[in-house]
Amino acid sequence: MLKFLIIGLGGGLGAILRYMVSNLDYRFSNGVFPVGTLAVNVTGSFIIGFLWVFFDRFVFPPNLRLFLFIGVLGGYTTFSSFSIETFNLIRDGEYHIALANVILSFSLALIAVFTGFFVSRMLLNIYK
């Protein structure tokens, strides 16, 4: 039962962070391109790649991994928003924007995971 509480608290925090970042849509693109969702998916991918190294190298309480990886990052990054926004763009005939959203979201998120992983490894090697 404690694990569910830990994940739920992390998920709530992640959802709040996601809401704050998702407001980028209207500040930077007037709602034309889903900038907020793209930013959430890329930063979340970077963070999970970055933390992955630390959790593989050091011993942390198991509940911290649940809190961060499943809770916070699970609540923060969702591809459900990405999917519905892409669907709406296609439905509205904005095929080029939908395609750009798919390509940018997938490629930048994968690059962010690798970058986070390698930046974390480099930092740990510097501080040996």
| Residue in the structure block whose two tokens are 């959802």 | 15
**What mean pLDDT is reported for the chain?**
89
**Among 51-55, 64-68, 73-77, 80-84, the least confident range:** 80-84
**Among 2-6, 8-12, 53-57, the least confident range:** 53-57
pTM across the whole model: 0.75
pLDDT of residue 108: 94
pLDDT of residue 16: 95
Q: At residue 116, does pLDDT exceed 80?
A: yes
**Among 32-36, 38-42, 50-54, the least confident range:** 32-36
pLDDT of residue 126: 81
pLDDT of residue 41: 87
SS3 77: coil
Q: Please state, for a pLDDT cut of 90, what percent of the chain lies above it.
A: 57
| Domain, as residue range, for 87 | 2-126
Tell which wins on pLDDT, 84 or 56.
56
Q: Which residues contact 45 (CB under 8 A, 6 or more apart)?
A: 77, 108, 109, 110, 112, 113, 116
Q: At residue 104, does pLDDT exceed 90?
A: yes
Q: Distances in Å between the alpha carbon of 44 and those of 30, 107, 128? A: 23, 13, 26
| Alpha-carbon span 107 to 69, nearest angstrom | 21
The structural domain count of the chain equals 1
Decide if 21 contacts 36 (C-beta within 8 A). Answer: yes
- Segment 37-59 mean pLDDT: 89
| Alpha-carbon span 90 to 38, nearest angstrom | 17
